[in-house]
Amino acid sequence: MSQFPQPRLVISATLPSQVSLPDIPAYTSQVFALKLNPHHLPAAQESYEWFDSFGIHTGTKRQRFFDYDFGLMSALCFADADFMHLRTAIDLVLWLFSFDDMIDRGALNSIQAMKHAVDVTMRVLRDPSAPQPKFKVAAVLQSCFKRMRQDGSAATLRRFVESTDQYTQRSFQQQVNKSTERIPTVEEYIQHRREASAMMTALAVVEYTLGLDLPDDVARHPVVMELALAGSDILNWANDIYSFPIEFARGDVHNFVCVAMEHNNLAVEDAIEYVDRRIRQRVDEYVAAKGKLPSFGPGLDEQVARYIQGIEYFVQGFIDWSFITPRYFGDEAKKVKETGIVKLVAPIALDAPVRFEA
What average pLDDT does the segment 38-42 reach? 98
Residue 61 located in a structural domain: yes
Residue 357 located in a structural domain: no
Residue 66 located in a structural domain: yes
Across the chain, mean pLDDT equals 92
Helix (H, G, I), strand (E, B) or coil at 342: strand
Q: Is the pLDDT of residue 3 over 60?
A: no
Residue 345 located in a structural domain: no
Q: How many CA atoms lie within 13 A of 230 on its CB side?
A: 22
- List phi, psi (to 5°) of 269: -70, -35
Residue 7 located in a structural domain: no
Is this model's pTM higher than 0.85 or not? yes
CATH of the domain at 332: 1.10.600.10
- The boundaries of the domain holding residue 292 are 12-338
pLDDT band at 105 (very low <50, low <70, confident <90, very high): low
The tally of domains found in the chain comes to 1
> pLDDT by residue (tens digit) across 288-304?
999 999 999 999 999 99
Q: Is the pLDDT of residue 356 over 60?
A: no
> pLDDT by residue (tens digit) across 330-349?
999 999 999 999 999 766 65
Residue 1 located in a structural domain: no
Percentage of the chain exceeding pLDDT 70 = 90
- Give the separation between CA 52 and CA 94, rounded to whole angstroms: 10
Q: Is the pLDDT of residue 270 over 80?
A: yes
* Contact between 184 and 177 (Cβ < 8 Å): yes
> pLDDT by residue (tens digit) across 150-207?
999 999 999 999 999 999 998 888 777 766 667 889 999 999 999 888 999 999 999 9
End-to-end alpha-carbon separation of the chain, Å? 22
Residue 354 located in a structural domain: no
Report pLDDT for 5. 45
> pLDDT by residue (tens digit) across 197-244?
899 999 999 999 999 999 999 999 999 999 999 999 999 999 999 999
- Give the separation between CA 44 and CA 68, rounded to whole angstroms: 12
Residue 171 located in a structural domain: yes
Question: Which residue from 106, 117, 91 is spatially nearest to 61, judged by alpha carbons?
Answer: 106
Report pLDDT for 179. 66
Q: Could you please report the per-residue DSSP string of 68-129?
A: T-HHHHHHHHTTT--HHHHHHHHHHHHHHHHHHHHHHTSSS-SHHHHHHHHHHHHHHHH-TT
Indicate the helix (H) or strand (E) that contains 278. helix 268-290
- Give the separation between CA 305 and CA 318, rounded to whole angstroms: 20
Specify which of 110-114, 127-131, 350-354 reaches the highest per-range mean pLDDT: 127-131
